Amino acid sequence: MMSPSGRRRRPREPRRNPPPGMLTLAALLVVASLVGGYLVLNRTGNTAPTASSGASPADGGRASAEPSGEPEWDGRTKVLGDGSTSYTGPQKGQLKPQPLKPGQKPPQFVVFSWDGALQGDDELFSHYREMAKKYDAHMTFFLTGIYLLPKDKKDLYSPPQHPKGSAAISFPTDEHIRTTLEQLGKAWKDGNEIGTHFNGHFCGAKGGDDWSVAEWKSEIDQFYDFVERWKTNTGYTDLDPLPFDFRKEVTGGRAPCLEGQANLLKAMKSYKWRYDASSTGDFQIWPTKKNGIWDFPLQMLPYEKGDFQGLSMDFNFLYNQSDGETDGDPARHAEWQQETLDTYMAGFNRVYYGSRAPLFIGNHFEEWNGGIYMKAVDEVIEKVCTKKDVKCVSFKELADWMDVQRPETLQRLRGLDPAQSPDWSTVVK
């Protein structure tokens, strides 16, 4: 199937996943999407999840994976490698993390993240970069490595367990490589994060769930090779280097189809990455660490007025509303858009007036069902990023903030139910 933006995606068969660990679910449905997205809906008599303090302080404190101190920049641009990238100093405008003071209510963090990060004909990358600027927000753009690799050089990619030069998505046009490079540079200068969505987007059989630690490392190494050698691979001599060093800036990612996290986490440690956003869904509770790495999952939000809990990603609305058809009944587009917006806002309000656990919204640059999912996100950005105490940040900035909090404070935060508004003096001491 060719999507409206020109990205070709292969279908995959539905699969069922075990339920997340916070509650015994009465029903859990995991439906695979065109590229491995899924719908998770939980119908129970009580739709308010129950939290647990869960991890020990050592599992979520400041002792591991803290950002390393950078030597003072001398003010000079350093061109790296073949001229594809450069070091232009520390990224500007980043959140300055501070530990909470006794009795202080945490900020309400909201993270908008985007899988793929191709600037296609729809120009959605530039749209959301401009939205972030307008509303004083930072976002995370998870770049797919082969989006900087020309199709005629596809054999440079050797995906794990698949033939050389193959991918489950389309290779970009030459023009889209150019426009994507432009947006990557501007996004970073604006203060946004560039993470990784890896390369070939393989799901299901021989996808991430089946990859070994060594195969995940190969996928990561090839991602770095594609993004650090785009000048060599494209032959472009008229473009400036990207203004950042991928080795310094990429500190996390989201796996295609949210598959393979167990071995991916082991592979990540070799690269000193600090977080992973590949979990298959959890309730809106404060994050913890897995294997010393922050785990930032998609979240279960109140859906259909709370009768269900649905994952916070566009694929899940697509499957529930139009059975995965990207061109569903136009007569229902307005209804579906409002339903999507209501779900996001219900999730936001539950924690904004409750535990203040971060809200994670993950999406794709696609115009499915007339672009209703993009329009819903636009409205969410407008509504929430302007509210008091709300900080719309990148995953990297959130990891920075989490790393400076006291372990005992984080443990108490994790003990809160999503909608629970506590006496903050008993939580932040």
pLDDT at 16 over 60: no
| pLDDT for residue 315 | 87
| Mean pLDDT taken over the chain | 87
Q: Which residue has the tokens 């990060």?
A: 117
| Cα–Cα dist 135/192, whole Å | 13
pLDDT at 22 over 90: no
320-362: pLDDT as tens digits = 999 999 999 999 999 999 999 999 999 999 999 999 999 999 9
| pLDDT for residue 29 | 30
The region of weakest confidence among 40-44, 142-146, 211-215, 262-266 is 40-44
| pLDDT for residue 73 | 83
| pLDDT for residue 178 | 98
| pLDDT for residue 347 | 97
Query: Among 48-52, 72-76, 267-271, 310-314, which range has the highest average pLDDT?
Result: 267-271
Residue 410's alpha-carbon distances to 176, 202, 265, 391, 393, in angstroms, are: 43, 35, 22, 18, 19
pLDDT band at 192; cut points 50, 70, 90: very high
pLDDT at 43 over 80: no
74-113: pLDDT as tens digits = 889 999 999 999 999 999 999 999 999 999 999 999 999 9
| pLDDT for residue 86 | 98
Q: Give CATH for domain 29-66+78-426.
A: 3.20.20.370
369-414: pLDDT as tens digits = 999 999 999 999 999 999 999 999 999 999 999 999 999 999 999 9
| pLDDT for residue 71 | 65
Q: What value does the mean pLDDT take over residues 264-290?
A: 95
Q: What value does the mean pLDDT take over residues 170-174?
A: 97
Domain ranges (residues) in the chain = 29-66+78-426
More confident residue, 53 or 268: 268
| pLDDT for residue 399 | 99
pLDDT band at 282; cut points 50, 70, 90: confident
| pLDDT for residue 11 | 35
| pLDDT for residue 339 | 95
304-318: pLDDT as tens digits = 877 888 899 998 899
Query: Among 1-10, 66-75, 132-141, which range has the highest average pLDDT?
Result: 132-141
Q: What value does the mean pLDDT take over residues 63-79?
A: 68
196-233: pLDDT as tens digits = 999 999 999 999 999 999 999 999 999 999 999 999 99
pLDDT at 59 over 80: no
| pLDDT for residue 70 | 63
Instruction: Indicate the angle between helix axes 368-384 and 124-134, nearest 10 degrees.
Output: 10
More confident residue, 281 or 19: 281
Please report, rounded to a whole number, the percentage of residues in the chain having pLDDT higher than 90. Answer: 79
Q: What is the pTM of this model?
A: 0.86
